[in-house]
Structure 1
Amino acid sequence: MSKQRVAIIGSGNWGSCIAKVCAENARKYSGVFEEEVRMWVFQEEVDGKLLTDIINEKHENVRYLPGVKLPSNIKAVPDVREAAAGANVLVFVLPHQFVYSTCEKLKDVIDKDCKGISLIKGLDFRDNSLHIISEGIEKILGISCAALSGANLAPEVAEEKFGETTIACKDMDDGPLFMKLFHTPYFDVTIIGDWRGLEVCGALKNIIAIGAGICDGLNYGNNTKAAVVRRGLIEMRRFGKTFFGGVHTETFFESCGVADLIVTCSGGRNRKVAAAFINSHKSIDQVEKEMLNGQKLQGTTTAQEVYHFLSARQKTDDFPLMTAIYRIVYENAPPETIATNLRTHVDL
């Protein structure tokens, strides 16, 4: 097999962090991968200099992952087509609302043997239906696309603090390649086959994290937040089993499931922004803009999409926690209703 060329499609804090992991492994497995790892960077200026130039000269993404040294074999590229040209492995790590428009630009520049892997935590909402992101990438590009998700706060991975992640492959023969590309002593990879369950977990846990943030904003304490996490996991599992075929219960106990839910409800940006929103007298979009330095929440968009999906099917009463979170954030429902909905027992 010829050496694999890797391209990272995205360069936020998580994109830059995973580029670091992939670049380290490209060097480690020099017989498998080309040393240079390209990273597509949406071009912007920082203190009068182009961000791509800063990354290539300083080996640091000073805007989205400041203070973390990136391997010198990462090449920041401002043109997505140039970044992806000739790649054998495309690592998608950008907000889910931009992934398909980005893929449309790549259809005629990728090789026929290219493989994809989605690190995008969201679902695609179109025509009142929800679709799996990796499956959408496959349809546009005509390639196989795996997915990675787990309890992976980017700053901690970048600082090489131990954590786990889960990769779901449609073709399990791709597992060894992805293991070499992503597994490190501090980033422990497990390979499974349930990509739908993995991606449902990655999308819905962000909604539940907003609920955890609402509890924190109300100073409700750890008992209430634990109830939100537990009820959230039940609703996540029920959603996956109800609307997506082939989802396995075991997936919800992998890093992509309960572990990711715990870490996101404890330290993720969705929790942090939601907590600030409760006492701000501002919209959550305003708070997001003020707090995240250009980064985007995934939980807010997903909460809207899931609510409209459930409403179209008259299923909102079957998912009282996710429904309450949406109404608090977007319909000015009293924040205290999150506890009211927790008291409502639903026989699952």
Structure 2
Amino acid sequence: MSERVTVLGAGSWGSIVANLLDQNGNHVTIWSRNQSQVEQLNQAHTNNKYLPNFKYSKTLVATSNLTDAIQNADSIVFAVPAQSIRLVAKKVENRLEQLKLKPNIIHVSKGLETTTSELLSQVLAEEIHIDHRKSISVISGPSQAEDVARKDITLVTAASDDINAATHAQKLFMNHYFRVYTNTDMIGVEIGAALKNIIALGAGALSGLGYGDNAKAALMVRGLAEISRLGTTFGANPLTFTGLSGVGDIIVTATSHDSRNWQAGYQLGQGKSLDQVVKNIGMVIEGIDTTKVAYRLAKKRGVEMPITTAIYYVLYGKIGIKDAISQLMLRDRKSELDN
């Protein structure tokens, strides 16, 4: 299977996805707004801001011209930050109409749109007309860019409402170190992918405060329960949250020091302000915006999410981390199986 594939976004994940697709035998173009980054990828085959010392495929082509990027594309992969999806999708829609193209649309981003609380697939469906796309699907799961760059064993899910679209994405991405399963529960996959970043912030904060493995395990398990409670109100299959895009992604993101969300939580646990943390990391920390959206959705839908609420209060200066932990631990007694 060989296609012309465009990857939009040249951060750590987007550039590694582009490299993987290139190595799978596709003709890949990666788009970035940053011309100096484009020149570095084309000339030195490096992307030093995001993955220092990694050498990208020499056949991978980078451009800052969006029209050139999507010319003749069979598939377009969105790998830009969640809050940029709508803006980029609007521009892509305009080019697709001009070029009379109808590609497969795939996104590999993780988050929820803050202004609308929508899933990213919903944003894409709203902005890219059905006449200009064959399908929409998502690739998600425990997949740190650094591990994929090393060709470490990685398993993810390709999800779409259309099983044929999920199967197409599966074939496009899968190789000997990157195994892809299919799922038709796109809602569950996207919610799990987005909300696990909240739990990663909490896990990092616990580590920054000096708590051990017991506390982190408790956070991940009870955090997963919250994600499932909210997800099922959207019609998601609860079993999805026990899979790769749920518990799998939580384990990786909440334990890996390569995770920006874990790093952000760790610095918060050490006493740094949110502004300091954002400045220190210097890249998008999806969990910050996602916490705000999840808190809002929980209130709107009447879903109990005490961990998410505590992290929201900490992030936005309503309570200190130690007080938030105390309040969580001293909540009323209840059954583990209560919804």
Query: Considering the TM-score relative to the shorter chain, is it more than 0.5?
Result: yes
Matched, 1:225 2:216: yes
Check the 8 A contact 1:208/1:229 in 2, yes or no: yes
Q: Equivalences for 1:180-195 in 2 at 5 Å?
A: 180-195=171-186
**Given the alignment, which residue of 63, 87, 98 partners 2:84?**
98
**Which residue matches 2:12?**
13
Check the 8 A contact 2:89/2:128 in 1, yes or no: yes
**Which residue matches 1:32?**
none
Give the secondary structure class of the aligned counterpart of 2:85: helix
1:262 and 1:15, CA in 2 relative to 1: closer, same or farther beyond 3 A?
A: same
- For residue 277 of structure 1, report the CA deviation from its aligned partner: 1.8
1:179 and 1:308, CA in 2 relative to 1: closer, same or farther beyond 3 A?
A: closer
Distance in 2, Cα, partners of 1:109 & 1:169: 24
Q: Which stretches in structure 2 are left out of the alignment for 5+ residues?
A: none
**Which residue matches 1:157?**
148
Check the 8 A contact 1:228/1:342 in 2, yes or no: no
Q: Which has the higher strand share?
A: 1
Task: Give the alignment's TM-score, normalised by structure 2.
Answer: 0.91
Matched, 1:303 2:291: yes
Distance in 2, Cα, partners of 1:134 & 1:56: 30
- For residue 132 of structure 1, report the CA deviation from its aligned partner: 1.5
Code of the residue aligned with 1:180 in structure 2: it is K
Code of the residue aligned with 1:328 in structure 2: it is V
How many equivalent residue pairs? Answer: 325
1:139 and 1:330, CA in 2 relative to 1: closer, same or farther beyond 3 A?
A: same
**Which residue matches 1:109?**
95
Code of the residue aligned with 2:9 in structure 1: it is G
Deviation beyond 3 Å, 4+ runs, structure 1 = none
- For residue 145 of structure 1, report the CA deviation from its aligned partner: 0.9
**Which residue matches 1:341?**
328
Distance in 2, Cα, partners of 1:275 & 1:252: 25
Give the secondary structure class of the aligned counterpart of 1:37: strand
Distance in 2, Cα, partners of 1:138 & 1:88: 17
Distance in 2, Cα, partners of 1:134 & 1:162: 27
1:78 and 1:192, CA in 2 relative to 1: closer, same or farther beyond 3 A?
A: same
Task: Give the alignment's TM-score, normalised by structure 1.
Answer: 0.88
Q: Which stretches in structure 1 are left out of the alignment for 5+ residues?
A: 28-34, 45-49
* 1:270-322 alpha-carbon deviations (Å, 9 max, x no partner): 1111111222342x2321221x2x321000011112223334x2737x11110
- For residue 343 of structure 1, report the CA deviation from its aligned partner: 4.5
Matched, 1:285 2:275: yes
Matched, 1:321 2:312: no
Code of the residue aligned with 1:79 in structure 2: it is N
Matched, 1:179 2:167: no
Give the secondary structure class of the aligned counterpart of 2:210: coil
* 1:74-112 alpha-carbon deviations (Å, 9 max, x no partner): 111112232123212011111100010011111132244
Check the 8 A contact 2:189/2:246 in 1, yes or no: yes
Code of the residue aligned with 1:341 in structure 2: it is L
- For residue 342 of structure 1, report the CA deviation from its aligned partner: 4.2
Distance in 2, Cα, partners of 1:164 & 1:266: 17
* 1:187-212 alpha-carbon deviations (Å, 9 max, x no partner): 11101110000000011000111111
Check the 8 A contact 2:231/2:238 in 1, yes or no: no
Code of the residue aligned with 1:116 in structure 2: it is I
- For residue 174 of structure 1, report the CA deviation from its aligned partner: 2.4
**Which residue matches 2:265?**
274
Give the secondary structure class of the aligned counterpart of 1:263: helix
- For residue 216 of structure 1, report the CA deviation from its aligned partner: 0.9
1:81 and 1:280, CA in 2 relative to 1: closer, same or farther beyond 3 A?
A: farther
Distance in 2, Cα, partners of 1:21 & 1:339: 45
**Given the alignment, which residue of 242, 250, 260 partners 1:253?**
242
User: Which range is displaced more, 212-221 or 148-157?
Assistant: 212-221
Distance in 2, Cα, partners of 1:255 & 1:115: 23
* 1:164-207 alpha-carbon deviations (Å, 9 max, x no partner): 11110222122343222211111111011100000000110001
Distance in 2, Cα, partners of 1:131 & 1:299: 15
* 1:202-255 alpha-carbon deviations (Å, 9 max, x no partner): 11000111111111111121111111101100000001012x12x112211221
Distance in 2, Cα, partners of 1:174 & 1:325: 36
**Which residue matches 2:226?**
235
**Which residue matches 1:47?**
none
Q: RMSD over aligned Cα, in angstroms?
A: 1.8
Code of the residue aligned with 2:250 in structure 1: it is L
Distance in 1, Cα, partners of 2:11 & 2:43: 18
Q: Equivalences for 1:202-213 in 2 at 5 Å?
A: 202-213=193-204
User: Which range is displaced more, 302-311 or 58-67?
Assistant: 302-311
Distance in 1, Cα, partners of 2:225 & 2:166: 29
